[in-house]
Amino acid sequence: MTFDSNAFLIIFTGALIAISCGFLGVFLLLRKMSMTGDAISHAVLPGIVIGFFVSGSQRSLEVILGAGLLGILSTLMIDALRKKAKVQLDASIGITFTLLFAIGIILINLFAYKVDLDQECVLYGEIAYLPIDLWITPNGLNLGPRITWLAGINFFLILGFTYFLFKELSITSFDEQFSSAIGIPSKGINLALMSMVSYTTVSSFESVGAILVVALLVVPPSTAYLWTKSLIPLLRLTAALGILIAILGYYLAYWIDSSIAGMMVAVAGAFFFGSALIKGNWPLGLRGTSKSNPAFDS
Amino acid sequence: MITQVPQPVLEVHDLTVSYDQQPVLWNVDLSLPAGQLIGILGPNGAGKSTLIKSIMGLIPPTSGYIKIFNKPLQEVRTRISYVPQRESVDWNFPASVLDVVVMGTYGKLGLFRRPGKKEIQIAEDALEQVGMTAFTKRQISELSGGQQQRVFIARALAQQADLYLMDEPFAGVDMATETAIFQLEWVIMLNLHLVASGPKDQVMTEELFRKTYGGKLNLHTQVTDLIRKQDFNPLKS
Does residue B10 sit in helix, strand or coil?
A: strand
Domain range list for chain A: 5-133+143-276
Residue percentage of chain A with pLDDT more than 90? 33
Name, in order, each residue with C-beta under 8 angstroms of B146's C-beta and a sequence gap of 6 or more: B171, B172, B173, B174
B190, B93: one domain: yes
How close is the nearest chain B Cα to the Cα of A294, in Å? 22
- Alpha-carbon distance A64 to A59, whole Å? 8
Residue B211 located in a structural domain:
no
Which chain B residues have any C-beta within 8 angstroms of a chain A C-beta?
53, 56-58, 74, 77-78, 80, 82, 84, 88-90, 93-96, 99-100, 103-104, 106-107, 109, 111-115, 139, 155, 159
The residue among A100, A90, A91 whose CA lies nearest residue A70 is A100
B38, B117: one domain: no
In this prediction, residues A140-147 reach a mean pLDDT of 77
Q: What is the ipTM of this complex?
A: 0.78
Residue ranges making up the domain that contains B227: 1-70+218-237
Amino acid identity, residue A210? A
The domain spanning residue B106 has which CATH number?
Answer: 3.40.50.300
Residues of chain A with Cβ-Cβ distance to B157 below 8 Å are none
- Alpha-carbon distance A146 to A122, whole Å? 17
Q: Please give the backbone phi and psi of residue B210, each rounded to the nearest 5 degrees, phi first.
A: -60, -40
Amino acid identity, residue B33? P
Total domains in the fold of chain B:
2
The 8-class DSSP code of residue B71 comes to B
- Alpha-carbon distance B159 to B177, whole Å? 16
B151, B98: one domain: yes
Residue A30 has pLDDT above 90, yes or no: yes
B66, B99: one domain: no
- What's the predicted TM-score (pTM) here? 0.81
The residue among B130, B178, B171 whose CA lies nearest residue B154 is B130
The residue among A235, A188, A280 whose CA lies nearest residue A21 is A235
User: Which of B58, B95, B113 has the CB atom closest to A177's CB atom?
Assistant: B58
B95, B66: one domain: no
User: Which of B84, B89, B96 has the CB atom closest to A230's CB atom?
Assistant: B96
Selected for mutation to probe chain A from B112, B120, B139, B152 (highest A CB count within 10 Å) is B112
Residue B202 located in a structural domain:
no
Does residue A189 sit in helix, strand or coil?
A: helix
B15, B104: one domain: no
B42, B97: one domain: no
The answer to whether B50 and B59 have CB atoms below 8 angstroms apart is yes
A5-133+143-276: CATH, from 3.40.920.10, 1.10.3470.10, 1.10.150.20, 3.40.50.2000: 1.10.3470.10
Instruction: Kindly give the confidence (pLDDT) of every residue in chain B, 237 residues in length, as a single tens digit, with 9 standing for 90 and above.
Output: 445 566 777 888 888 888 777 777 777 787 777 766 777 776 666 777 888 888 888 888 888 888 888 888 888 888 888 888 888 888 989 999 999 999 999 888 877 788 888 999 999 998 988 888 899 999 998 888 888 888 988 998 898 888 888 887 776 677 767 776 766 655 556 665 555 454 545 555 555 555 555 444 555 543 433 443 343 444 443
- A222 close to B (CB below 8 A): no
The answer to whether A20 and A156 have CB atoms below 8 angstroms apart is no
Residue B225 located in a structural domain:
yes
Residue A198 has pLDDT above 50, yes or no: yes
- Alpha-carbon distance A138 to B122, whole Å? 57
B62, B134: one domain: no
Amino acid identity, residue A251? Y
Distances (CA, A) of B69 to B7, B11, B114: 8, 8, 28
- Alpha-carbon distance B95 to B52, whole Å? 27
Residues of chain A with Cβ-Cβ distance to B19 below 8 Å are none
Helices (H), B92-195: 97-102, 106-109, 117-129, 145-158, 175-182
The answer to whether A19 and A239 have CB atoms below 8 angstroms apart is yes
B40, B90: one domain: no
**B234: left (phi > 0), else alpha (psi -120 to 50), else beta?**
beta
Tell me which chain A residue has its CA closest to the CA of residue B95: A230
Pairing of strands A134-136, A142-145: antiparallel
Q: Please give the backbone phi and psi of residue A112, each rounded to the nearest 5 degrees, phi first.
A: -60, -30
B53, B92: one domain: no
Residue B207 located in a structural domain:
no
Name, in order, each residue with C-beta under 8 angstroms of A29's C-beta and a sequence gap of 6 or more: A218, A221, A222, A225
